[in-house]
A and B are shown apart, each in its own frame.
Chain A
Amino acid sequence: MTIVEAEAEIVEEFSIFDQWDDKYQYIIDMGKSLAPLEEKYKTADRLIKGCQSQVWLHSELIDNKIIYHAESDAIITKGLVALMVRVLSNHSPKEIVDAHLTFINKIGLAEHLSPTRANGLVAMVKQMKMDAFVMQNKAIK
């Protein structure tokens, strides 16, 4: 599945919700079911600090595919993090670097990705791409 296909799948899933609380409940449940990040990865260099909630991100390259592991202390942020991981994980560094994510807008959660939002999500997406960029360059060398 490509990144674009993964995004389309999420948009499809969210299309059945016409009430805000159903949509948020779905995100909360996703947050709850995201596998916890191993304690050894919860280090300062993997911490992305938002003003309000924080995110830990660990990236590893296996067979030219990046696998992301992430967690947040806030459950809604964690649910959004789970969506990001689902879309971007298991793709090549180049695919991730080139990706222009649109699904957050399409499922009506754009407010969570605005630069003024203090949940650390914007910084997380930036870090996911940054990690991919670094791994891509390493592969070229």
Chain B
Amino acid sequence: MKIINETEDLLMTYDVQKFRADFPILSEKVNGKPLVYFDNGATTQKPKVVIDSIVDYYSRYNANIHRGVHHLSQLASKAYEDARATVQKHIGANSPNEIIFTRGTTESINLVAYSFLRNRLTPGDEILITEMEHHSNILPWQALCEEKGAVLRIIPINENGELEIESLQRLLSPKIKFLAFTHVSNTMGTINDAKTIIEFAHAANVPVLVDGAQAVPHMQVNVKDLNCEFYCFSAHKVYGPTGIGALYVREDLIDDMIPYQTGGGTIKTVSFAKTVYVDGPLKFEAGTPNIEGAIALAKALDYVNAIGIDAIEAHEHELLIYTTEKLNAIPGLKIIGSAKNKAGVISFSFDKIHPFDIGTILDQQGIAVRTGHHCTQPLMEHFGIPGTTRVSFGLYNTIEEVDLFITALQKALQMLS
């Protein structure tokens, strides 16, 4: 009962209208109608504090970092490194040295494939991923397998869109050299039991990367508790800017990894005969990085923490339950992915109506959803469908918006049937 009471408390004090006022874009109109933004799984909107932090950086302390002795460079360097510490604290890492700034989740995964796994892989080795992965967590491993003569193995899902844990245990042979899986499915919202999966992998001495792109915006993540080797996420899915993200690398591994790209900012000494790289994350941040992006990402995490990630999770869960109930009442509608544990993401399809048509008619009514395969074509193949319509919630969505969406969906069905 205690947990239920705590959730109720969180919802009682959750002032969604106040938060909505923080996001300038939410007062925009689309096709003459108020915007209902249900495409948060693709990218979230940005609060004014995040937008302002970018303007502030360029207005007051723009300078290149880590090299200048002058005042502005000191300010910029400090803000950039403070941002690293903010990310570290947010995901519960031990040290800022475990946080590498990247362009986002996709680059983080590519970095681990190249810098960590490539030199550890020999022909006949195997890499394990799951059937519900985003293409970004398939292609880097597939390319590596092709290069090294290794084999990609797939953990299947059941009809509810949950991982088959028994298959994981069966697949974890001595040939498996790496496991990469998503914390939360971008298409179905399934929350994987990351801790258990990682425990199984570690029992077989397999290092693990967790794709947290869809988890960090919706729930508390603690990499120490998960005990994974690698964890990554993108800023733009958690109310920050595009083009920046973070990769957590457990500290004892980072110095054994080779740079993914080489260049300025990564070195101790350079001569034409030999270059010595710096230790820690800077070795992986060649060239002038996305300084304002890192600063704005930290602002976004501060914003989320000020509201409280548990409160956001409870709010989105309420939207999930309400919307699922409403959708289930629509004849012919099939929800794709009915895992017991879900984040605020719902995919659905109809036998005779194409998702593109639904998306187009919803858009005419100001409702932004995602349609298509969501960069998970193997998953679409599993369910035998060309794509789905997906709604995904953010901290600013409301029950009233869900009602608008349901009315708009009914209108679409009436037109298309």
Binding site for B on A (CB under 8 A): 20-21, 24-25, 28, 51-53, 73-77, 118-119
Contacts and interface: CB of A to CB of B under 8 A. Distances in A.
Given A20-B31, A51-B372, A25 B356 contact: no
Contacts of B119: none
Given A20-B31, A52-B387, A118-B372, A77 B356 contact: yes
Among A21, A28, A74, A77: residue with most chain B CB under 10 A: A74
Interface string B354-397: 11110111001000000110000000000000110000000000
18 contacts: A20-B31, A21-B415, A24-B361, A24-B364, A28-B357, A28-B415, A51-B372, A52-B372, A52-B387, A73-B354, A73-B386, A74-B354, A75-B354, A75-B357, A76-B356, A77-B357, A118-B356, A118-B372
Contacts of B89: none
Contacts, number: 40
Interface string B145-174: 000000000000000000000000000000
Contacts of B386: 73
B330 interface: no
A24 B415 contact: yes
A63 B354 CA distance: 37
Interface string B253-283: 0000000000000000000000000000000
Contacts of A73: 354, 386
A6 to B, nearest CB: 24
B411 interface: yes
**Which 4 residue pairs of A and B lie closest in terms of their CB atoms, listed nearest first?**
A74-B354, A74-B356, A53-B356, A52-B356
Given A21-B364, A24-B361, A118-B372, A53 B354 contact: yes
Interface residues of B, number: 17
A113 to B, nearest CB: 14
B369 to A, nearest CB: 12
Contacts of B371: 52
Contacts of A76: 356-357, 360-361
Contacts of A77: 356-357
Contacts of B372: 51-52, 118
Given A53-B354, A75-B353, 10 more contacts: A20-B31, A24-B361, A24-B415, A28-B416, A52-B359, A52-B371, A74-B354, A75-B357, A75-B416, A76-B360
Interface of B: 31, 353-357, 359-361, 364, 371-372, 386-387, 411, 415-416
A20 B356 contact: no
A75 B356 CA distance: 9
Nearest to B32: A20
A40 B354 CA distance: 22
Contact of B355 (A21, A25, A28, A52): A52
Nearest to A79: B357
Contacts of A21: 364, 411, 415
Contacts of B416: 28, 75
Nearest to B371: A52
Contacts of A52: 355-356, 359, 371-372, 387
B415 A119 contact: no
A53 B360 CA distance: 12
A105 to B, nearest CB: 17
A28 B31 CA distance: 19
B372 to A, nearest CB: 5
Could you say which of A21, A52, A73, A118 has the most chain B C-beta atoms within 10 Å of its C-beta? A52
Contacts of A24: 360-361, 364, 415
- In this complex, the member of B353, B357, B415 whose beta carbon has the largest number of chain A beta carbons within 10 angstroms is B357
A51 B31 CA distance: 23
A24 to B, nearest CB: 6
A1 to B, nearest CB: 29
A64 B355 CA distance: 39
